[in-house]
Amino acid sequence: MSIRRRITIVIGGFALFAIAVMLWAPTLGSTPISLSQAFDRSIPWDSNVDAQIFFVARLPRVLAGGLVGATLAAAGVVLQALLRNPLATPFTLGVSAGASLGAMLAVTMQLELSVLGITSIPLASFAGSLIATGIVYALATLQRRGLSTNVLLLAGVTLNAFFSALILFVQYLADFAEALRAIRWMMGGLDVAGYFPIIAALPFVVVAFIAFAFLTRTLNLLSVGAESAAAKGVDIVPAQRLAFLSASLATGAAVSLGGPIGFIGIIVPHLVRLLVGADHRIVLPASALFGAAFLVLCDLAARTLMSPLEIPVGVVTALIGGPFFLWLLVKRS
């Protein structure tokens, strides 16, 4: 089988799975609904309760889950290849800590601004992620003409710790209701109100995915080593810069939409590699598709398992992801 054919078939399989999950998930919930009834155009909208539940209540949430899951998984793949470190996540380089600090400040300072219908928390968290990205990038390029992935990693880890301390400090000063609201945000949640927040995050994610598409084969070479990649025709510094900035932008947009939902960015890429090998031309799109399906399924569990009580989706991904990842580690060694 030719390489192109293998790539097409595998990605097609993952795409079918993701689409199936995203159509099936909205039919489940406290009120079961039927897909055929929801899509039945002969019933007028006003009396088609199934369609209303599907399109108004559940589909936005599923789409948000798909977008956030796809983004975090793909960003994880890119950062793992860039840093040549299988343990890297989209949050390793400080993006989510910056976003969390932004959200925390928006809550405690009771910022009430809104731009084009986007409220202060997503705005502030997106701003926080951009600032964190800027700081890490500046540090990594300060020393030499190139981009040092070691400095990138160290700066990111340090910034994470520093921002976490600031978050705790702000939280300590905040009153109880504000602190609780901010903590809830940090647990992650996909209960977006309507389609607009998704549409607002979409352009950043699309730009990042276009960059990812240009990078896939280069990521293979980068993960073999920068020096060897350069000798095989990769322009190392522009490639690294594009990988870092696009992955950070996508992560910032995803986190401002769904909060810092952990584990997707690390377990999905690893699981996909186990299934399809290490070629990033397959791993990257397959991880995006599987990440979308995985987060939608986790969110389904979050809203149905203890219904009517909802479990924060970040807790579900960690509860499923943590043991699963440990099992994977034990199995490999």
Partner 1 sequence: MLDLLWADSVSFRYAVDAPLVVDGVTVRLADGALTGILGPNGSGKTTLLRLLSGTRRPTSGRVLLGDRPLEQLSRRDAARQIAVVPQETELAFEYRAIEIVLMGRHPHLGVFTVEGPADVRIAEDALAATGTSHLANRFFHELSGGEKQRVVIAAALAQSANLLLLDEPTASLDLGYQLEIASLLQRLNQQHGVTMAISTHDLNLTASICRDLILMRDGRVLAAGPTASVLTPENIRLLYDVEADVHVHRGTGHMTVVPVKRIAR
Residues lying near partner 1 in the complex (CB under 8 A): 2-4, 7, 80-81, 84-86, 144, 213-214, 217, 220-221, 223-225, 227-228, 230-235, 273, 277-279, 281
Q: How far is the CB of 171 from partner 1 (least distance, A)?
A: 36
Cis peptide before 308 (omega within 30 of 0): yes
Answer for the pair 229, 218: CB distance below 8 angstroms, yes or no: yes
Q: How far is the CB of 90 from partner 1 (least distance, A)?
A: 17
Shortest distance, CB of residue 116 to partner 1, whole angstroms? Answer: 34
CA distances to 38, 62, 247, 263, 316 from 90, in Å = 36, 21, 7, 9, 18
Task: Using the minimum distance from each CB to partner 1, give the nearer residue, 6 or 181.
Answer: 6
CA gyration radius for the chain?
Answer: 20
d(CA 95, CA 131): 8
Least distance in angstroms from the C-beta of 274 to partner 1: 9
Q: Which is nearer to partner 1, 117 or 277 (CB)?
A: 277
Whose Cβ is closer to partner 1: residue 22's or residue 271's? 271
Q: In residues, how long is the chain?
A: 333
Q: Could you give the C-alpha distances from 297 to 41, 68, 100, 283, in angstroms and in order?
A: 28, 13, 24, 20
Judged by CB, which is closer to partner 1: 61, or 281?
281
CB-neighbour burial class of residue 315 (10 A; exposed 0-12, middle 13-18, buried 19+):
middle
Residue 317: CB minimum distance to partner 1, A: 23
Cβ at position 76, least distance to partner 1 in Å: 13
Residue with tokens 């696009």: 246
Our CB check for partner 1 shows the closer of 86 and 203 to be: 86
Nearer to partner 1, 76 or 312 (CB): 76
